[in-house]
Amino acid sequence: MTSDSTAFLRTAGREFVDQSGTPVRLRGVAVGGWLNMENFITGYSGNESLMRGTVREVLGEEKYELFFERLLTAFFDEDDAKLLAGMGMNCVRLPVNYRHFEDDARPFVFKEEGFRHLDRVIEACARHGIYSVIDLHALPGSQNHHWHSDNPTHRPAFFDHPHFQDRVVAIWERIAEHYKDNPWVAGYNPINEPADESRKVVGPFYTRLVEAIRAIDDRHILFLDGNTYSTEFDVFDAEWDNTVYVCHDYAAPGMGNGGDYPGVTDGKYYDTAALEAKYLQRTEYSRRTGTPIWVGEFAPIYTGDERRDAMRRQVLADQLDIYRGDGASWSSWMYKDLGRQGVAMVRPDSPYMKRFGDFVAKKNRLGADNWGSDGNGIIEVTKPFQEMIAREFPDFDPYPWGRFDWVRTLILNLTVAQPLAYEYAELFRGLDDDELIALADSFALRNCDIRTTLVEQLRAG
């Protein structure tokens, strides 16, 4: 979709500006769980490709296609774009799994139909004056250690194999060719949260990827995540024009194991000053290079306990005050889910939650999801194992987040979560077409509740 009256956004010093040079402060949300599905968002277990494979086995190809086509259509449509525009949002970040564009069995064979839903939503948002940022959230081989890169293991193979890197360059060349003339695309976020332990591959690969994209499209902004989940920026070999170095700014007291706020989390005291100090640390590279600040992900996780959630809302209020005072642009994580973090939430009495509510409760009890969990699950099982590893390997501090996360990932988010994926799939067995459509339509905005406190906070931010 193009429009002669719509300017391409670009960077000018620390600001985003339109074609007339008028500053534009980007404020928006990420549509996570849609073209890159995540377990805590839509209620399955494990990683997306495992979930899709097990559901396909149960439903068969025809019903599988019916359900997922309907789900992708219902998850975000014109009503969603209208809601976001009414909130004052002017940007959406659209996470995408590479599997929409390419199959592992046929590498380098690009699937043009992968653009269908992406085009539809970009156009819907454009009709409401909302820009889009295209985010490749899951890369071939997985670029980080966790579920959100569709990683079935705990190791990012992307950095070990040039084959995977070649495929990503080819994918981005096709994306750039497709959108190079679309001014409603604010830009490209080529790699979400890379985690290159060697710190030797990601920088040179970024240089290669930027040059490949720029050879096709030199008008769109590039939003580049730093290494180690967008927290380290010393890996960049060069600075490029019309480029943003993306900060992710999750606050510890807003996470699954967060304590009181103000108060202590993981042995450290957090208040507004501590949040601002961490923000300044994470945005130091942007300041040094004189480029715009875009907080590509942030926001607390809600618990259902009003006392704790009131503190989570205060965390968000303080973060938004910091960003507003600094003139920073931002994209909140995230828009729609089962109630853990989203603006829109699937209702408890929906067909989907009636069928999968007990399953979701079981995986929460077992701690099978990483995001929003305290990492313990059934603590009488996990605590002795954590203590044994700490006792036997006191100096073990694995990349990226240390021993506790490494152990909980292997025990809970893989060993427990992967068998649960088959249990989730079995809940589809025997459903007819109308029942599958009703499940998918549970995610349509008309069937969701709205977290009004979050709407008001983001509108004011």
Between the CA of residue 235 and those of 20, 201, 231, 395, 439, what are the distances in Å?
Answer: 34, 9, 11, 26, 44
- Cα 293 to Cα 8: distance, rounded to the nearest angstrom: 18
* Type of residue numbered 353: M
For residue 221, give the H/E element and its range: strand 221-225
Q: Catalytic pick from 38, 102, 232, 297?
A: 297
What is the Cα Rg of the chain in Å? Answer: 21
What one-character DSSP code corresponds to residue 410? Answer: I
* Distance between CA atoms of residues 49 and 408, nearest Å: 21
What sign results for the dihedral spanned by CA atoms 207, 213, 216, 220? negative
* Degrees to nearest 5, angle at CA 25 with 240 and 452: 130
Cα–Cα separations (whole angstroms), residue 272 to 262, 276, 330: 8, 6, 18
Alpha helices in 31-161 (DSSP H): 39-42, 48-59, 61-75, 78-86, 115-127
Cβ contacts of 26 within 8 Å, gap of 6 or more = 16, 90, 91, 131, 186, 294, 329, 330, 331
- State phi, psi for 131 to the nearest 5 degrees: -80, 160
What are the backbone angles phi and psi of residue 197, rounded to the nearest 5°? -65, -35
Catalytic residue among 193, 197, 276, 387: 193
The owner of tokens 């300044």 is 280
Per the annotation, the verdict on 297 as an active-site residue is yes
Catalytic site positions: 193, 297
